[in-house]
Chains A and B, each alone.
Chain A
Amino acid sequence: MALDASLAHRPAVVAAEPAATTETPVVRMVLIAAALAFLAFFLLLPLIVVFAEALRNGFEAYRSALTEPDTVSAIRLTLLVAAIAVPLNLVFGVAAAWAIAKFEFKGKAFLITLIDLPFSVSPVISGLVYVLLFGAGSVLGPWLKSHGIEILFAVPGIVLATIFVTFPFVARELIPLMQDQGTGDEEAALSLGASGWQTFRLVTLPNIRWGLLYGVLLCNARAMGEFGAVSVVSGHVRGLTNTMPLQVEILYNEYNFAASFAVASLLALLALLTLGLKSILEFRYGDHIAAAKKH
């Protein structure tokens, strides 16, 4: 304990800056304590609660909660939705970044604003737009119904809503990165006789791979965890149109708290894994990631 205290004090004492341009050790300690207390209270405690509540009835109950058929199908649906939504937004992100970063054209700033749009829309509204587009009262609704195509309250609607809310992630990571890298490498490859596709695959892609991975990581975390938008379009059919976050809600509303927190703990693990990988990417490949610390 005494050792801990001395370790915590040391940086303040060793600091080489003159006292006039930094705070006194007492003020430092108070600020650090305030920051840590706030973070422990608001961030760490909820995380601990998730795992503690999930394991409240023992590991056996935890395991059986996670192997319950409706929960298994929710996990499967979440993986399926992410497996469709993330690659589509990846292709879009690369295409958008290529057009925006490698060329100069009018209206570019406006296009970037439009790409960011889904981030400033409430998740509920992100779901509502598809209800209005495909629902019973819409222009498309009756036509879809007469042709037996189910979008709303079915998997396609969930995928669409997920694509909407995760739309900007890859693009907004790649655009600043590719703008920084300029067009020199590609011009050199082209002048040496490479085709456009070869240039992209052998020159551009290696340059942006870590940034791309970073964007995909954040996109995937949101795709698997989205609640509001998916809740509006899902219809909440157990075993059919429930994703993991929706399963958390249903179990919780049935007062099946331990099972609800068990599913939630899987999502929390995903969040921790995402944060861990993200930190590794920022730490090791910070120069190859544009949005490090800025998203």
Chain B
Amino acid sequence: MTATLAAAGWRPRKPSVIPGFGLTLGFTLAYLSLIVLIPLAGIVWRSAALGWPRFWAIATDERTLQALKVSFGTALVAALVNVVFGTIIAWVLVRYRFPGRRVIDAMVDLPFALPTAVAGIALTAIYAPNGWIGSLLTPLGIKIAFTPVGIVIALIFIGLPFVVRTVEPLIEEIDAEVEEAAATLGAKRLQTISRVLLPALAPAILTGFALAFARGVGEYGSVIFIAGNIPYVSEIAPLLIVIRLEEYDYAAATAIAAIMLALSFAMLLVINLIQAWSRRRFGHGA
């Protein structure tokens, strides 16, 4: 008995009457390797071939550091703005009923569907000094397009649905009895929200933040039009990769890409840890 159980545990897959396992898994692995894994491994291999001193010199180059700082800094600010407004929007869409709610709910996915280049030129037309809003701000001495603030605006657009769509399902799942219990025990509404509801939503908010942040760091299309792309000021890391490629400096492009990949995989790990922690703590994923 023990022997059979142990044998079953060691078998790579459970037996099944359904056919096609070898075919579909084989195709999946081959396609995945050809399209994704082998090309991605190329980045790791090529940066390893650079050797540590060369890699370090590129990584600590002033322009590289500034570009990474701009990418991560603007993505952080945009993700924080999205956490606040994304959570409010999710709350309003789930809890309140008002005319046009369904259309607005569908609209939230616009940044997923709208090509990034389209978003980029539209935002530039709005915030450029002679643009729709930019021309109103110029007399006040406020400049948005062609500064890091413009990058933040573009990343807010790109990241918003990540927060709304991660937080929404969790607000739907909140048990009304929890709020009733808090109210019965004499909690003011604000106390219920800050002490009962927000802690329960925290894992989803954190996940949404991490997703929006990760997307913002790598974003290219919507940013390059509005950023102005001034080296050391408003030049993002993905653009620096493109610039190095155009200079045929493949080594520098690869090294910057490797740094960005390492940082985004670290983010992915953090997201998975948050979700695992949230499943343990609250019994459901974020």
**Interface residue ranges, A against B (CB under 8 Å):** 7-8, 11-12, 17-18, 20-24, 28, 31-32, 34-36, 38-39, 42-47, 49-50, 53, 92, 95-96, 98-100, 102-106, 111, 113-115, 117-118, 120-125, 128-133, 135, 137-138, 160, 163-164, 167, 183, 186-187, 190-191, 196, 199-200, 218, 221, 224-228, 231-232, 244-246, 248-249, 252, 257, 260-261, 264, 267-268, 270-272, 274-276, 278-279, 283, 293-295
Contact = CB atoms under 8 A, between A and B. Distances in A.
Nearest to A17: B176
Given A100-B28, A167-B36, A271-B110, 12 more contacts: A46-B123, A50-B121, A99-B21, A105-B13, A124-B241, A125-B238, A128-B253, A225-B117, A231-B242, A257-B125, A261-B125, A275-B107
Interface of B: 12-14, 16-21, 23-25, 27-28, 31-32, 35-40, 42-43, 46, 85, 88-89, 91-93, 95-99, 102, 104, 106-119, 121-123, 125-126, 132, 153, 156-157, 160, 165, 168-169, 176, 179-180, 183-184, 189, 192, 214, 217-221, 225, 238-239, 241-242, 245, 250, 253-254, 257, 260-261, 264-265, 267-268, 272
A32 B98 contact: yes
20 contacts: A8-B98, A35-B92, A45-B126, A46-B123, A95-B27, A100-B28, A102-B20, A122-B264, A124-B218, A124-B220, A124-B239, A124-B241, A128-B245, A164-B39, A167-B35, A190-B18, A190-B19, A264-B118, A267-B115, A271-B110
B43 A125 contact: yes
Contacts of A274: 113
Which 4 pairs across A and B sit closest by C-beta, in order of nearness?
A122-B218, A225-B115, A20-B183, A105-B13
A243 B14 CA distance: 46
Given A34-B88, A227-B221, A132 B46 contact: yes
Given A128-B257, A190-B18, A225 B114 contact: yes
Nearest to B116: A227
Contacts of B89: 35, 38-39
B155 to A, nearest CB: 11
Nearest to A24: B189
Of B92, B122, B265, the most chain A CB neighbours within 10 A belong to: B122
A220 to B, nearest CB: 10
Contact of B114 (A45, A138, A267): A267
Judged by DSSP, the binding face of A is: helix
Contacts of B39: 129-130, 132-133, 164
B255 to A, nearest CB: 11
A279 B106 contact: yes
B119 A128 contact: no
B110 A47 contact: yes
A294 B123 contact: no
